[in-house]
A and B are shown apart, each in its own frame.
Chain A
């Protein structure tokens, strides 16, 4: 496998994970104007659920990811109804503080339940090796990741663009009051969208458990990447973040390969330049 294909492949796989985790954040932020720093918590919980079901109960990888996804989506739904909903009209500062508090609570609970160290991800044998396709050997885990990610993203885009539910979300993002006036129950829509978004984050966290290590500091460590994807991609849409996530995945992988001594310096500098050029993201709503 040549250097270029390695970087391309690893970058795309990383970008897919970033996208799966962040897309829910983009939609909920666009829908509810809520600055939710705690989104990474749901990805982390998805990761913990996946690793625990696999290591402790011997559930197969993809099934464990699916269980984690459902559990976390349910949790997200409940949290939205119980807590988030009360803060929709509040100031940005209140929302930041609330979600930061949620991060701290989640970090503490995870630390108490699973300990301070990163969880080992024991991949099943069929995901450990290499697979050869058209004379190119590719690592199996990342191949499954890219395949599965593509399928989920395809499904998500269909739902968003072709179904009534998707149309309702798009309507509420554009103009909440008008959407409500046409009979859409926006309050319930928010809860469902929030649950869906957190479920997708859990899916990303679980699938990517071998790329973004599952440890208590997860939500603090990676939050900046998720927010970058949303801010660069533009709020309330699902295609902008896809471009942003892939670009960041590729650029970060390439930087780490070619200039490891610079770490993620270039990524942050690059993001600054993009947002100075397009403060509302590359796919901005009018």
Chain B
């Protein structure tokens, strides 16, 4: 699509590594959250899981320019892998999470080989169909997945054999936060690497990247597999923290929701997920309880309004605001 180039080149906002304090303090603040807001650990844990999931999507949508409407397929694969392993007695959290990453990566590899040669509508449709396919398989394989009732009887051993998952959700909180931190550090390093820059090049102009000798299909496939692995990891964390795997984790609705969360914060900047996901999930927690119709209406209106008036999400608007203020000061 030719329109892609115009909007997104703008300003790549990646902070320099000098101000490490500013980056560490928010993490410590979040880790101290249970002291300030006791009882909110389960909700916060869900937010961490979705941030990780949205981060993996950002890698595709924001950096590689691969728009997918089937990312939940990989999240669900991870969730079901961890869940099914635990039901069959293999309950170490870290090892099951690793298995979930591997199965999601393999699934992503298989679908990626088939899909990533295509572009535009076909690619969009195939990503959607891939998730529908997985959903339908999970829906019909009731013996393995529990079908529509979801996977029951999921439980995991203590982390490192020391910290048991408690019903107040404290262990799950710190466990998911720690994994989110590690995953973020990895993805940030990946984005800053030459590989990360080649992805942006492919997003902006794949023909030119091919012309300078970049194997674009291979690069797209590699990033798809990495994003799949992290989506699978997020799915596994979801299964571990809620002790349940629902069919929803493979659904088109979830694929759409995670895309909205990412876009709300701002895609292509890694930090967008940290803004968009909490806002979306808090709003959902407040609004959806009353009436799902209002929630859909609000969500849809915001989405349309954002595309029409504020492309770039919340962080994009902030960035433009800051730029305007700076320009005025200089004048």
Instruction: Please list the residues of chain A having a beta carbon within 8 angstroms of any beta carbon in chain B.
Output: 29, 33, 35, 83, 86-87, 89-94, 96-98, 100-109, 111-112, 116, 220, 223-224, 227-228, 230-231, 235, 261-265, 268-269, 271-272, 275-276, 279-281
Q: Which residues 131-166 of B have a CB within 8 angstroms of A?
A: 132-133, 136-137, 139-140
Whole-angstrom distance between the Cβ of B296 and the nearest chain A Cβ = 4
Question: In the complex, are the beta carbons of B303 and A265 less than 8 A apart?
Answer: no
Question: In the complex, are the beta carbons of A96 and B69 less than 8 A apart?
Answer: yes
Within 8 Å of chain A (Cβ to Cβ): is B306? Answer: yes
Within 8 Å of chain A (Cβ to Cβ): is B311? Answer: yes
A109 to B301, CA, bound (A): 12
A101 contacts which of B8, B121, B307 (Cβ < 8 Å)?
B307
Counting residue pairs across A and B whose Cβ atoms lie within 8 Å, the total is 149
A108 contacts which of B3, B126, B128, B293 (Cβ < 8 Å)?
B293
Main secondary structure of the interface of A (DSSP, over half): helix
With contacts A89-B3, A100-B260 taken as known, whether A112 is within 8 angstroms of B122 at the C-beta atoms is: no
Contacts of B314 in A (CB 8 A): none
Contacts of B299 in A (CB 8 A): 101, 104
- B282-294 contact mask (Cβ, 8 Å, vs A): 1 or 0: 0000000000111
Of the listed residues B4, B117, B295, B296, the one surrounded by the most CB atoms of chain A closer than 10 A to its CB is B296
Whole-angstrom distance between the Cβ of A176 and the nearest chain B Cβ = 13
Contacts of B125 in A (CB 8 A): 224, 227-228, 230-231, 275
Question: In the complex, are the beta carbons of B7 and A98 less than 8 A apart?
Answer: no
Contacts of A94 in B (CB 8 A): 3, 7, 307, 311
Contacts of B202 in A (CB 8 A): none
* B93-101, B251-259, B319-327 - the one binding chain A: B251-259
Whole-angstrom distance between the Cβ of B304 and the nearest chain A Cβ = 4
Contacts of A101 in B (CB 8 A): 299-304, 307
Main secondary structure of the interface of B (DSSP, over half): helix
11 additional A-B pairs beyond A101-B299, A111-B296, beta carbons within 8 Å, are: A92-B1, A97-B303, A101-B303, A109-B297, A112-B297, A116-B292, A227-B125, A231-B125, A263-B139, A268-B132, A275-B118
Question: In the complex, are the beta carbons of A231 and B122 less than 8 A apart?
Answer: yes
A242 to B293, CA, bound (A): 35
Question: In the complex, are the beta carbons of B252 and A224 less than 8 A apart?
Answer: yes
Interface size (B, Cβ < 8 Å)? 50
A to B CB contacts below 8 Å, 7 in the list: A29-B121, A92-B124, A94-B3, A104-B300, A108-B293, A220-B256, A223-B128
Question: In the complex, are the beta carbons of A111 and B301 less than 8 A apart?
Answer: no
Contacts of A272 in B (CB 8 A): 114, 126, 129-130, 133
Question: In the complex, are the beta carbons of B7 and A91 less than 8 A apart?
Answer: yes
* Chain A residue nearest in CB terms to B5: A91
A161 to B306, CA, bound (A): 40
Question: In the complex, are the beta carbons of B140 and A263 less than 8 A apart?
Answer: yes
A86 to B308, CA, bound (A): 8
Q: Which 8 A-B pairs have the closest CB atoms?
A: A101-B303, A104-B300, A105-B300, A108-B297, A108-B296, A268-B133, A101-B304, A111-B293
